[in-house]
Amino acid sequence: MALQFSLATAAPEAADTACVVVGVYEQGVLTSAAARVDSASGGAIKRQVESGDISGKGGSTTVLYAPAGIAAKRVLVVGLGTQKGFDAARYQKVAIEAARALGRLPLTEAVSYLAEVEVPGHDAAWRVRTAALAADHAAYRYTATFKPREKAAQPELASVAFAAGAEVQGGLDQAIAIAEGVRFARELANLPPNICNPAYIAAQAQAFADAHDKVSCRVLDHVEMEQLGFGSLLAVGRGSVNKPKLVALEYKGGADGVAPYAFVGKGITFDTGGISLKPGPGMEEMKFDMGGAAGVLGAFVAAVKMGLEHNLVCVVPAAENMPDGDSYRPGDVLTSLSGLTIEVLNTDAEGRLILCDALTWTAQTFKPQAIVDAATLTGACVIALGKHASGLFSKYDDLAGELLAAGERTLDRAWRMPLWDDYQVQLDSGFADVANIGGKSAGAITAACFLARFAEGQRWAHLDIAGTAWDEGRKGLATGRPVALLAQWLIDRH
């Protein structure tokens, strides 16, 4: 269930709600909202600070129940850490922990005063938007019906109001739209692979298009793709009974004749590695190998919900990589849609093989002003950057700068990696124009270099989200990244 968000104007001591949320720094420094609550309650917060029960440590939470002099039934005091050095990342962390603490309480509503906390370099609209997105992320529950949901034993948080003026309504509206896109991406990626296959992704895209006036959807099946020459994409899906699809959503939010922006997302709905079979342990996580597709679809949803005045296309090559008597093999030579031939050295380097045909088709069909692809492409990127930053590759400094700035603003951060021609020699083949892997070293870079050959002449960037698209472990969920980054990039294009 999505949280409902609104703005509130009541003073913190006068807000008639189940809980008000205020912040306290270390060394007992109270924010203005906390100071007002403290004064109205006869020092209820300061007494707990002095006793050590409220430390102010970043992300810590303490609940005061029914303090005298306060209209709210509870006060949630959130630690902000040291006042010196308080920054955007700490603000986001505090907002997430506050939302988690609210979720543990038996209440349906709350009013947060965290948006009043000053964050250097960011205005009130940013603070409201970031706090709302953090709350929605923390409140997310996987809702598919395969696991019976226990009936809630207590009321559940359903709405949060943020104390701020009407001038920040635009920021809140953006948060509501981006949160919807993030949930769309997370739900799609979390689904089991026996449900979320290429046909399911196509159906979800079509349903979204049917529900929105300015959106249209086109789906190419394997027969149409074969006629057009998608030799690389089709090879990957040959071993599966779930046939590949190419899904293209188009949003006409801008003027007629203006070239669109384009997103392309890797949609491997399950990746066994094919004939180059992956090890068994952890293979169940390969349902997340369509995280790039989920991310660009979520960003598309966010853009439409915000009503951005852009033309936008979102292309998802969707396939399942399975071992079978008809699977493609190491040693095969494929002819891509672009005409370039590819020697397959490893069938587990399949994401680039579906993306290369999708990039070619997107460029030819829509002639976009920029293409950004997102893909859970390489384990090498996880080794290089861990789980915090997505890898960003582009030969266009301006485009790379725009995407990095969008990542910093949303805290959905990326880090630029080299895309130098020096690495291209690792992809040399004696039997085709290019090999699909470049050896052990610089794996994320050589994968991006492979894609670059199919984006010649395009203003193109690649996001490797293998480390950021989901949280590892048996209970790890999709994160919804890079929806926020891509949505912000589009917002900034005005």
Catalytic residues: 278, 352
- Residue pair 295/481 in contact (Cβ under 8 Å)? The answer is yes
The crossing angle, in degrees rounded to 10, of helices 397-410 and 483-491 is 110
The crossing angle, in degrees rounded to 10, of helices 291-306 and 198-210 is 0
CA nearest to 237, candidates 228, 226, 248, 227: 226
Q: Which residues contact 163 (CB under 8 A, 6 or more apart)?
A: 7, 8, 9, 10, 12, 15, 33, 111, 112, 113, 115, 116
Alpha helix stretches (DSSP H) within 242-378: 291-306, 351-366
Core vs surface per residue 80-90: b (16+ CB within 10 A) or e: bbeeeebebeb
The token pair at 210 is: 């049917």
**Residue type for position 166:** A
CA distance 347 to 354: 12
CA distance 223 to 212: 28
Give me the phi and psi of 447, to 5 degrees please.
-65, -45
